[in-house]
Chains A and B, each alone.
Chain A
């Protein structure tokens, strides 16, 4: 027994002595990356942890975006928020307006003495997460945008040129009619209807989705997506549905499966769907930019940005912030970024990562993977920079609900969009009241 106590105290003493060397600062990183994406995230953390001995990043999967954000809010209220939390674009305004809850990334990097150059990011991506005062608030992580996929085999069967996808909605209608005539039941479908046909549609045509630069200019923003151009597009979709050219699949990504199973010939979806489609499609397909109306002035601008960014939570210790800064520096490296972009189909976030991927010949070997990136590497306008609205999750629900009211014939496109704007404005009003100062 005596011996044991001696051994114990020796061990305790040893651990005391060696404490400074082993005082690893642990960082909690909450994310929503499932399956293969989750493995990539774990690998990133593992490689960072192996690259040095002072800090340790612990990635934790917290459910889908909405669930993980709810968990983050609850944890903050309970006083034990994680250091880094991945929040989807829909939650951006909520995070930005939460005073003192978050630590702006640019401020964090400066305080920790890490190099941080805003201009190294793709402008459309950086602009989305930059405050009205010009400070980058969160770290862009996985960004995606809207693209079109089409089945080359079906195109050939319908007598269309598989190398020439439709570039405009007018062209798409003509081709869809030919595809239908060739015996196909579903010429065109879409995933994420609200994101693609209202939000991305607005930025692509350089028309306002909401006033005050889509909410970038202040909380007193109001929705504007019942313009004649928007109404015309929804009317067209509704007519195509009646003619059997467009088939509605659901609010989320249900359209993807109908495309890669070969049922639908053309699909508009997230650029992030590429990997999944590639894995499942048993036919030749290609990626093309989102169609637009060529009689609309200013089109095509750029489609809207989606995906998520990393937010650093406030009220943490100085050495923990240093660890977070080191980790974000690690993530910014072109090699890390390029690998993430190539393996996942998400957009390259820095120009260096895009150029590195280009130089490596990746785009030549995988045609179509550069479509999303090329759509976004343009100079954005006040109307196309992005959408930053409070209560956006509910607003998107409202868009979905009212669009469904068009598809099932309950409302005309004009009525539905007017109602959506009215209901959405009530939500914006509510958010403005809750975030006054």
Chain B
């Protein structure tokens, strides 16, 4: 089978991909290059005094034990967000797939949170869990749990994971549902005739066939947890208590946008960029081998 597309003109394929390449250059390579350059500078807030310092900004990062600790926090947070988010979404998708009546209604409700901005999602959960006023916090107190994420690190981490997962569930749900619906019914029926129960059918047929979707979602969720969650942290915990919920991207945001330390912030974002590129390469090299397309 010939998979290659044929074009009458040699330039047509280039012309067709040109817009995409232009967008990538303008919105990715250009800013990334600027970040690289900025990370070697020390500058005052308004950029009136600039000094080239080489790798000085990076050295300062490695000598900061709190920066190193924030790697651990980030790892913990992103694994929790990806695993919990995907597991819950898969469960919901499996149930939604079975519903015969009113499925559109359920699906719409489940997709809704995706339209909510991260700041609003954070504020919503912050109010629900607010130690003295929050509905959930008060309910928990009746159950004997003293909820105060302002001074309890585990509770603070739980809160930001819940908020981040809730916001991302819709996205995961949508892809899992599409994945489930593309599995041929005949395969499942054949297994059922052979006597496989629902759980068996899920483990041996559905889940392996979902693996491309799961793999894609794993990459997307990790990137989401790494980059898109600072707003949630900013409105719920501000990185506290102490520095226990300061993830890498939140520190980039704090130092760069609030602290006006562009050099230090750029150095951190370069580290973050390298880290995510490395993670994605690892995922494609090793995890993808276990994926059946």
Contacting pair B49 A408 (CB below 8 A):
no
| Closest B residue to A257 using CB positions | B133
Question: Is B44 located at the chain interface by the 8 A CB criterion?
Answer: yes
Q: Roughly how many angstroms separate A70 CA and B45 CA in the complex, as a whole number?
A: 9
Contacting pair B258 A434 (CB below 8 A):
no
Question: Is A316 located at the chain interface by the 8 A CB criterion?
Answer: no
Q: Which of A225-233, A286-294, A389-397 contacts B (4 or more CB under 8 A)?
A: A389-397
| Closest A residue to B257 using CB positions | A70
As a 0/1 sequence over residues 256 to 271 of chain B, the CB contacts with chain A under 8 angstroms (1 = contact) are 0111110110000000
Question: Is B240 located at the chain interface by the 8 A CB criterion?
Answer: yes
Contacting pair B152 A408 (CB below 8 A):
yes
Contacting pair A408 B258 (CB below 8 A):
no
By a CB distance below 8 angstroms, the chain B residues around A94 are 44-45, 260
Contacting pair A404 B240 (CB below 8 A):
yes
By a CB distance below 8 angstroms, the chain B residues around A261 are 132-133
As a 0/1 sequence over residues 116 to 148 of chain B, the CB contacts with chain A under 8 angstroms (1 = contact) are 000000000000000111000000000000001
B134 to chain A, nearest CB (A): 12
| Closest B residue to A313 using CB positions | B46
Contacting pair B150 A70 (CB below 8 A):
no
Question: Is A253 located at the chain interface by the 8 A CB criterion?
Answer: no
| Closest A residue to B258 using CB positions | A66
Contacting pair B260 A70 (CB below 8 A):
yes
Q: Roughly how many angstroms separate A100 CA and B259 CA in the complex, as a whole number?
A: 20
Contacting pair A97 B44 (CB below 8 A):
yes
Q: Roughly how many angstroms separate A238 CA and B259 CA in the complex, as a whole number?
A: 29
| Closest B residue to A410 using CB positions | B242
As a 0/1 sequence over residues 231 to 263 of chain B, the CB contacts with chain A under 8 angstroms (1 = contact) are 000000011111100000000001101111101
For chain A, residues 263 to 279, give those with C-beta under 8 angstroms from any C-beta of chain B.
263
By a CB distance below 8 angstroms, the chain A residues around B260 are 69-70, 73, 94
Q: Do A251 and B240 contact each other (CB < 8 Å), given the known contacts A404-B151, A407-B151, A434-B44?
A: yes
Dominant secondary structure at the B interface: loop
- Which residue of B44, B131, B257 is within 8 Å of A435 (Cβ)? B44
For chain B, residues 42 to 88, give those with C-beta under 8 angstroms from any C-beta of chain A.
42-49, 51, 60, 64, 66
As a 0/1 sequence over residues 146 to 186 of chain B, the CB contacts with chain A under 8 angstroms (1 = contact) are 00101111000000000000000000000000000000000
By a CB distance below 8 angstroms, the chain B residues around A99 are 48-49
Q: Roughly how many angstroms separate A336 CA and B242 CA in the complex, as a whole number?
A: 43
- Which residue of B51, B151, B239, B261 is within 8 Å of A401 (Cβ)? B239
Q: Roughly how many angstroms separate A333 CA and B139 CA in the complex, as a whole number?
A: 53
Q: Roughly how many angstroms separate A304 CA and B42 CA in the complex, as a whole number?
A: 31
Contacting pair B49 A435 (CB below 8 A):
yes
Contacting pair A251 B238 (CB below 8 A):
yes
B243 to chain A, nearest CB (A): 5
By a CB distance below 8 angstroms, the chain B residues around A254 are 150
| Closest B residue to A71 using CB positions | B257
Q: Roughly how many angstroms separate A430 CA and B259 CA in the complex, as a whole number?
A: 12
By a CB distance below 8 angstroms, the chain A residues around B258 are 66, 70, 393-394
Contacting pair B48 A100 (CB below 8 A):
yes
- Which residue of B47, B60, B153, B261 is within 8 Å of A394 (Cβ)? B261
| Closest B residue to A416 using CB positions | B242
| Given A101-B46, A263-B132, 12 new contacts (CB under 8 A) | A76-B47, A77-B47, A257-B132, A257-B133, A393-B258, A394-B254, A404-B242, A408-B152, A433-B42, A434-B42, A434-B49, A434-B51
Binding site for A on B (CB under 8 A): 42-49, 51, 60, 64, 66, 131-133, 148, 150-153, 238-243, 254-255, 257-261, 263-264
Nearest 10 Cβ contacts at the A-B interface = A404-B241, A405-B242, A98-B46, A408-B151, A101-B46, A394-B259, A66-B258, A404-B242, A407-B151, A434-B44
